[in-house]
Amino acid sequence: MDRLTARELFDRVGSRLSLRWVAGQRGETRAIVPAEKQSRRPSLAGYLNIIYPNKIQIVGSEELAWLDSLDSRLRWEMIQKIVGFQPTALIVTKDQTVPADLRDAANETDTPVWVSAQRGHELLTYLQYHLARMLARRVTLHGVLMEVYSIGVLITGESGSGKSELALELITRGHRLVADDAPEFLQIAPDVIDGTCPEMLQDLLEVRGLGILNVREMFGHTAVKPSKYLRLIVHLAVMPREQPLEQSGLERIYGANSYREVLDTRIPMTTIPVAPGRNLAVLVEAAVRNHVLKTKGVDPAQTFLDRQAHQMRRQAPW
């Protein structure tokens, strides 16, 4: 998401944070943009700061006490400076009364002012996390996102390669569907990519010949999952009928493993050739198990090569 307006943010978090909109209602179109797109020091949410202002300024007891300690002229200057920064919203904590001069200035400048029953640190923690997710970099990829053995797996391949049929087979084997056809991925940490399903496609799987299936209704609530971190990509490579399934010596040992960049994050990718008679569901399960072993430092291919090298040293004539 490139921008988030005050109204959109209020609608998303207002109920959870017990927010009331008390002033500056005409400022609902004020937008907050990702931190990397801000020209000044990036700070999406924080306590009231008039040096490096936050887009969401939290006004707690200490901040209100600080305003009360100022003489009338300096107080007016500070309030004008606060609203002059054009924050997306000011949030007053613990159901405290909004000072009349701050309310008037907010109404004059269309600065949204919200009041919450929660404490400042609770608001800050929740807003920082959810703003980061709402404004995170995201991309839509073609494929089927599944949870296989608790690992997020994106199944990719050309149209007609059997992605949906493979997903259906995996679901019948107890694995879970996240999204079919167009899963959305967002970067929630430098090396963490979270995959979700667009609202329109939730619980649905399109299989050629059968049409659109409702996986939740057919297999139960445990057959679907709202989101999953992407850890592995399995690419289905359709082999021409006239071309035999051939692999180089190293591929037969190590497998067809590589990486794919998703939002500047390297995701391991395993390519599985699609050919008649191959049980793709079993191969995907094996690929996931092998990926888990590798993350734990167990490499079967390297183990085989080490054994071979040891055997050759034992049989050497010298």
| More confident site: 35 or 259 | 259
Same-domain check for residues 262 and 149 = yes
Report, as an integer, the average pLDDT of 220-231. Answer: 95
| Tally of domains within the chain | 2
Same-domain check for residues 192 and 302 = yes
CATH of the domain at 71: 3.40.1390.20
Same-domain check for residues 61 and 176 = no
Q: Which domain holds residue 9?
A: 4-134
Is 176 an annotated catalytic residue?
no
| Whether residue 191 has pLDDT greater than 60 | yes
Q: Kindly name the residue from 121, 142, 278, 289 that is annotated as catalytic.
A: 142
Considering only CA atoms, which of 173, 131, 123, 175 is closest in space to residue 149? 175
Q: Which of 78, 100, 134 is the last residue of a domain?
A: 134
Report, as an integer, the average pLDDT of 236-264. Answer: 74
H helices present in 154-237, as ranges: 163-172, 215-219
- Indicate whether 71 belongs to any domain: yes
- Indicate whether 224 belongs to any domain: yes
Following DSSP, what letter does each residue of 34-64 receive, concatenated? -GGG-SS---SEEE--SSS--SEEEE-HHHH
Q: Which of 134, 169, 191 is the last residue of a domain?
A: 134
The mean pLDDT value of the chain amounts to 89
- Indicate whether 16 belongs to any domain: yes
Q: State residue 183's pLDDT score.
A: 95
Q: What is the pLDDT of residues 133-159, one digit of tens each?
A: 888 888 999 999 999 999 999 999 988
Same-domain check for residues 116 and 153 = no
- Indicate whether 314 belongs to any domain: no
Same-domain check for residues 63 and 77 = yes
The helix/strand/coil state of 233 is strand
CATH of the domain at 259: 3.40.50.300
Same-domain check for residues 230 and 123 = no
Quick check: 105 and 79 in contact, CB under 8 A? Answer: yes
Report, as an integer, the average pLDDT of 247-255. Answer: 64
- Indicate whether 318 belongs to any domain: no
Q: Kindly name the residue from 252, 278, 289, 310 that is annotated as catalytic.
A: 252
Q: Which of 84, 116, 134 is the last residue of a domain?
A: 134
Same-domain check for residues 301 and 172 = yes
Report, as an integer, the average pLDDT of 231-247. Answer: 76
| Whether residue 209 has pLDDT greater than 80 | yes
Report, as an integer, the average pLDDT of 22-34. Answer: 89
Same-domain check for residues 92 and 165 = no
Same-domain check for residues 278 and 189 = yes
- Indicate whether 260 belongs to any domain: yes
Q: Kindly name the residue from 163, 175, 225, 235 that is annotated as catalytic.
A: 163
Share of the chain above pLDDT 70, in %: 91
| Whether residue 42 has pLDDT greater than 60 | no
Report, as an integer, the average pLDDT of 229-256. Answer: 74
Which of 253-257, 263-267, 297-301, 304-308 ranks highest by mean pLDDT?
263-267
| Whether residue 248 has pLDDT greater than 90 | no
pTM of the model: 0.75
Q: State residue 41's pLDDT score.
A: 54
- Angle at CA of residue 192, ends 165 and 224, nearest 5°: 35
Considering only CA atoms, which of 96, 88, 19, 100 is closest in space to residue 63? 96
| Whether residue 10 has pLDDT greater than 70 | yes
Q: State residue 133's pLDDT score.
A: 84
| Whether residue 244 has pLDDT greater than 70 | no
Q: How confident is the model at residue 64 (pLDDT cuts 50, 70, 90)?
A: very high
Q: State residue 287's pLDDT score.
A: 94
Q: Kindly name the residue from 30, 55, 180, 181 that is annotated as catalytic.
A: 181
Is 181 an annotated catalytic residue?
yes
Same-domain check for residues 231 and 183 = yes
Same-domain check for residues 96 and 205 = no
Same-domain check for residues 251 and 159 = yes
Considering only CA atoms, which of 312, 301, 170, 291 is closest in space to residue 232? 291
- Indicate whether 179 belongs to any domain: yes
